[in-house]
Amino acid sequence: MQVKDCMTKEVISVKRSTTLSQLIKTFQKYNFHTLPVIEQDNRLVGIINFEDILKVFQPYSEDLSTMLKTIPFLDMEYKEEDFLSADISSEIGVLILVDDIMNTRFAAISAQADINQARREMKLHNILRLPVVEEGKLIGVISLFDIILAVFREKEVIK
């Protein structure tokens, strides 16, 4: 079975110019934790995860934070709770754009690929959803749940 046989064709996506406030509302409305980022021509340019929003509130990158922890006289450890007490300006919602925090390195798959290949890609990258692209353009998304449903239908576990 091919990816095109079980992928979701109606994809919720965002653009590079989407503000942090709009992004949070989109995550909330659709209850997604990952969204594709597209250009006007539907070209896939990135992926944005809910975790990327949290990175906005980290004072240092993960690599720098790890390095700083090795310096004995510095006490600069970031704790998850720090963001709960952070002084957050209301302007942050419009000043930070998806383009500032999106991932431009991402896995994607072709609609002609086998669903077994899609599952292998998901396992390899430790993700639950893959954008489906043809000639660089987003045409759908396939999730682990889509694959499970397809297999169950094929085995006549569900109709």
For residue 138, is it within any domain? yes
Query: With a threshold of 0.85, does the pTM exceed it?
Result: no
Higher pLDDT, 73 or 4: 4
For residue 126, is it within any domain? yes
**Which residues, listed in sequence order, are joined to residue 49 by a DSSP beta bridge?**
34
Q: Are strands 34-38 and 14-15 parallel, antiparallel or unpaired?
A: parallel
Structure tokens at 125: 């990258």
For residue 36, is it within any domain? yes
For residue 62, is it within any domain? yes
Residue 50: which domain range? 3-154
| CATH code assigned at 100 | 3.10.580.10
For residue 132, is it within any domain? yes
For residue 159, is it within any domain? no
Number of domain units in the chain: 1
Mean pLDDT value across residues 78-89: 56
Per-residue confidence (pLDDT) for residue 37, from 0 to 100: 98
Reply yes or no on whether the pLDDT at 144 is more than 80: yes
Q: 135 exposed, middle or buried (CB, 10 Å; 0-12, 13-18, 19+)?
A: exposed
Higher pLDDT, 10 or 56: 10
The pLDDT-based confidence of 92 (bands split at 50, 70, 90) is confident
The pLDDT-based confidence of 93 (bands split at 50, 70, 90) is confident
The candidate with the shortest Cα–Cα distance to 125, out of 153, 106, 98, 109, is 106
Per-residue confidence (pLDDT) for residue 101, from 0 to 100: 94
Determine contact, residues 107/125, Cβ cutoff 8 Å. yes
